Amino acid sequence: MPNGTLSQHLHNPANYGYKPLRWNERVQIALDAARALEYIHEHTTPRYVHRDIKSNNILLDKNMRAKVADFGLTKLIRENSDGNSQTRLVGTFGYMAPEYARFGEISTKVDVYAFGVVLLELVSGKEAIVQRDATGMNGTIISLVRNYGTSETTIDVLVPYGLSSIVTICSNHASLIHLSEENKWD
């Protein structure tokens, strides 16, 4: 694709000869990727789970429109299935839903979780795996948001652009993510 991957535009774009994404581009990319996920989850027969949604697998065309790529780890969801099944673990750490990482449970929710991580990347410019956060700890972007909550530190760490309302919304949503079985998204 002429404009590479979303990851290249978010993480050190100058290294790839790109300028930082404008906010309207980020929103359009999020919408394009969401529509692609909706299509494979709801409008294909049979239905599929991508299992490797990440910023490296979102390609950008000449008009900066997003295309979800790399269907090599895709898993078929059987029609008679309740939507959940168990499988061997594949994908990329940092984007894996807790129930998938812990128990190997696969459903479309796995892709939705990973897409949420991509949205945090779009807002913050941070990678899914944060090499060093403000405390000097390694972890995921989700753990970074959970640890800081809605404090001013979160705003400074995540978004240097002064978009505190966006970070507050993301922090509130991230705080709803729990590892317990009864709190899985429906």
Superfamily (CATH) of domain 4-174? Transferase(Phosphotransferase) domain 1 (1.10.510.10)
Tokens of 134: 């403000």
CB–CB of 25/64 below 8 Å? yes
Taking alpha carbons only, the member of 114, 113, 121, 115 closest to residue 144 is 121
**Domain spans, the chain:** 4-174
Q: How many CA atoms lie within 13 A of 155 on its CB side?
A: 11
| DSSP code string of the chain | -TT-BHHHHHSSGGGGT-PPPPHHHHHHHHHHHHHHHHHHHHSSSSEEE-S--SGGGEEE-TT--EEE---TT-EEEPTTS-S-EE----S-TTS--HHHHHH-EESHHHHHHHHHHHHHHHHH---SEES--TTS--EEHHHHHHHHTTSHHHHHHH-TT--HHHHHHHHHHHTT--SSGGG---
Residues 6+ apart with CB under 8 A from 176: 183
Q: Tens of pLDDT along the chain (186 residues)? A: 899 999 999 998 999 999 999 989 999 999 999 999 999 999 988 888 888 999 999 999 999 999 999 876 777 666 445 555 556 667 788 898 888 888 888 888 999 999 999 998 998 888 888 766 566 666 788 877 776 655 555 545 555 554 555 555 555 555 555 444 444 544
Annotated catalytic sites, by residue?
A: 52
